[in-house]
């Protein structure tokens, strides 16, 4: 994406890149963004955040147990003193998604040698819309977000889970290519976007 901007940062809380090339600043105007700060996603799975998410799990009070599932296998379950009510309140809060996904005015997704730009505010508001996302808190402690399409269909697209081996939480459109197969087409189905040819990297 260095034809848009020379410097690209894919980690940390700041935007990944900034649209400064005059050839592409029309993207900012078309989407009504304040500036060209952009968060970049690509591949088949999109990670939003890796680390602590205190709104969804309180690590000091974390409890992990092994339970035999209905299929006869040992299943690892986790819980903390954060109630399901508080978890759902967080997941439907604009501030929550701004904190863990909204690092930039724009969201750019690389698909099939094309860049698709969305206004980040639109993305965050869509994530908090109960008519567009249905949240399920599983017995294992994991949380699934089913993404609702305009044709009435839904796809499991967002997952929150605790990674025991790293003692970290992960939140994103991941698992089975959910970023590409569910989250991206869901954005396309619900939001305006600007499509441009892939920039060289």
**What's the token pair of residue 37?**
């700060």
Residues in Cβ contact with 57 at an 8 Å cutoff, skipping those fewer than 6 apart: 78, 80, 82, 141, 162, 169
Q: Which ranges of the chain does DSSP label H, i.e. alpha helix?
A: 26-31, 84-91, 94-100, 120-127, 178, 184-190
Helix and strand numbers (H, E) in the chain are 6, 12
State how far the Cα of 192 lies from the Cα of 201, in Å rounded to an integer.
Answer: 25
Q: Which ranges of 50-170 does DSSP label H, i.e. alpha helix?
A: 84-91, 94-100, 120-127
pLDDT at 4: 54
DSSP-based helix, strand, coil % in the chain, nearest 5:
20, 35, 45
Pair 36, 105: CB distance under 8 Å: yes
pLDDT at 9 over 50: no
pLDDT at 153: 97
Q: What is the pTM of this model?
A: 0.90
Q: Tell me: the pLDDT tens digits for 36-92?
A: 999 999 999 999 999 999 999 999 999 999 998 777 788 999 999 999 999 999 999
């Amino acid at each position: 994406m260095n034809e848009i901007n020379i410097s690209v940062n894919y980690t940390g809380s700041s935007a990944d890149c900034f649209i400064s090339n005059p050839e592409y600043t029309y993207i900012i105007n078309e989407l009504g963004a304040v500036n060209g700060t952009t968060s970049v996603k690509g591949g088949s799975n999109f990670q939003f955040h890796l680390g602590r998410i205190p709104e969804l799990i309180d690590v000091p009070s974390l409890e992990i147990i092994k339970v035999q599932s209905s299929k006869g296998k040992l299943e690892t379950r986790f819980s903390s003193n954060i109630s399901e009510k508080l978890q759902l309140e967080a997941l439907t809060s604009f501030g929550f998604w701004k904190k863990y996904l909204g690092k930039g005015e724009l969201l750019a997704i690389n698909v099939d040698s094309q860049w698709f730009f969305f206004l980040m505010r639109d993305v965050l508001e869509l994530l908090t819309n109960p008519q567009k996302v249905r949240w399920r808190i599983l017995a294992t402690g994991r949380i699934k977000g089913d993404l609702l399409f305009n044709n009435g269909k839904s796809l499991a697209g967002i997952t929150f889970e605790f990674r025991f081996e790293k003692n970290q939480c992960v939140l994103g459109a991941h698992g089975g290519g959910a970023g590409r197969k569910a989250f991206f087409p869901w954005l396309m189905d619900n939001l305006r976007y600007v499509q441009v040819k892939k920039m060289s990297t």
